[in-house]
């Protein structure tokens, strides 16, 4: 695959920024990186790239002692539905027209960011049966767009109210999601590309640097300020993808 000159300039910066967000929040790298890189590269390349970078990031964080606080009562029942959604998403990623995937990604990113910015904090606990649609949608989004984290977070934040347990549970869900996607993408052939491996190696340093900075900023920055900046960026990047997809369908 031939890369434009813009990719060599933008990809390292975007990956660094995405993993700063990951280091701060425990998820969110792909929802920042994928919409921007999808402007220059096919989703069939960008999503597997982020799966491998996310796997590397999780390996960096595996010594996190807070992970033992996770709540397995919600994680266990979600796994089967997550797997079904991931298989469906991987099939669509390999076979669906890219312009429709781009349009769906843009609407998903911009819509999620706007809802998150505008909604008040959730009150009360939602019913356990919500795990079924949430897990299916999150699994499909994980394979299609490289991120199901925001969807899982909507559910987990309404089920768990202890911040430590919620963060640990989310980290565990993301880790499981990444490992399963690696297996699915290997079987489907999406990871069996030489240029993909070269890109991962080239970007590993920027991923690690962003992670380390994000972890440091986590203890120093106002979380509400970080949340607003990240989601405003998501609105802009998601909207730009919608516009590009509409122009592609019109051409």
User: What pTM was computed for the model?
Assistant: 0.74
- Residue 140's nearest CA partner among 183, 88, 77 is 88
Structural domain containing residue 17? 5-250
Number of folded domains that form the chain? 1
Residue 52 structure tokens: 């491998």
The C-alpha angle with vertex 62 and arms to 61 and 63, in degrees rounded to 5, equals 90
C-alpha 43: how far from its chain's center? 13
Query: d(Cα 99, Cα 248) in Å, to the nearest integer?
Result: 7
Query: d(Cα 145, Cα 139) in Å, to the nearest integer?
Result: 10
Tens place of pLDDT per residue across the chain (251 aa)? 667 777 889 999 999 999 988 887 667 788 788 888 988 888 889 989 999 998 898 888 765 544 455 556 667 778 888 889 888 888 887 777 777 877 887 888 788 778 777 765 545 677 778 888 888 888 888 777 767 777 787 777 777 766 667 767 777 787 888 888 888 889 888 888 899 999 999 999 999 999 889 878 877 776 666 667 777 777 877 787 788 788 775 54
């Amino acid at each position: 695959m031939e890369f434009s000159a813009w990719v060599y300039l933008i990809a390292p910066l975007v990956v660094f920024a995405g993993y700063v967000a990951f280091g701060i929040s425990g998820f969110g790298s792909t929802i920042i990186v994928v919409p921007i890189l999808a402007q220059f590269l096919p989703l069939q390349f960008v999503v597997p790239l982020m799966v491998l970078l996310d796997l590397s990031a999780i390996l960096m964080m595996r010594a996190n002692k807070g992970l033992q606080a996770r709540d397995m009562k919600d994680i266990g029942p979600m796994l089967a539905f997550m797997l079904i959604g991931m298989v469906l998403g991987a099939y669509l990623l390999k076979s669906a027209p890219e312009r429709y995937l781009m349009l769906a990604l843009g609407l998903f990113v911009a819509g999620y960011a706007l809802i998150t910015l505008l909604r008040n904090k959730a009150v009360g606990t939602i019913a356990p049966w919500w795990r079924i649609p949430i897990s299916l949608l999150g699994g499909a989004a994980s394979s299609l767009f490289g991120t199901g984290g925001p969807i899982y977070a909507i559910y987990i934040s309404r089920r768990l109210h202890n911040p430590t347990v919620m963060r640990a549970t989310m980290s565990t869900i993301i880790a499981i999601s990444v490992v399963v996607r690696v297996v699915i993408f290997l079987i489907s052939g999406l990871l069996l590309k030489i240029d993909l491996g070269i890109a991962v190696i080239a970007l590993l340093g920027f991923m690690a640097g962003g992670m380390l900075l994000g972890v440091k900023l986590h203890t120093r920055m106002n979380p509400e300020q970080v949340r607003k900046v990240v989601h405003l960026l998501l609105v802009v990047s998601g909207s730009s993808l919608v516009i590009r997809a509409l122009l592609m369908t019109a051409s």
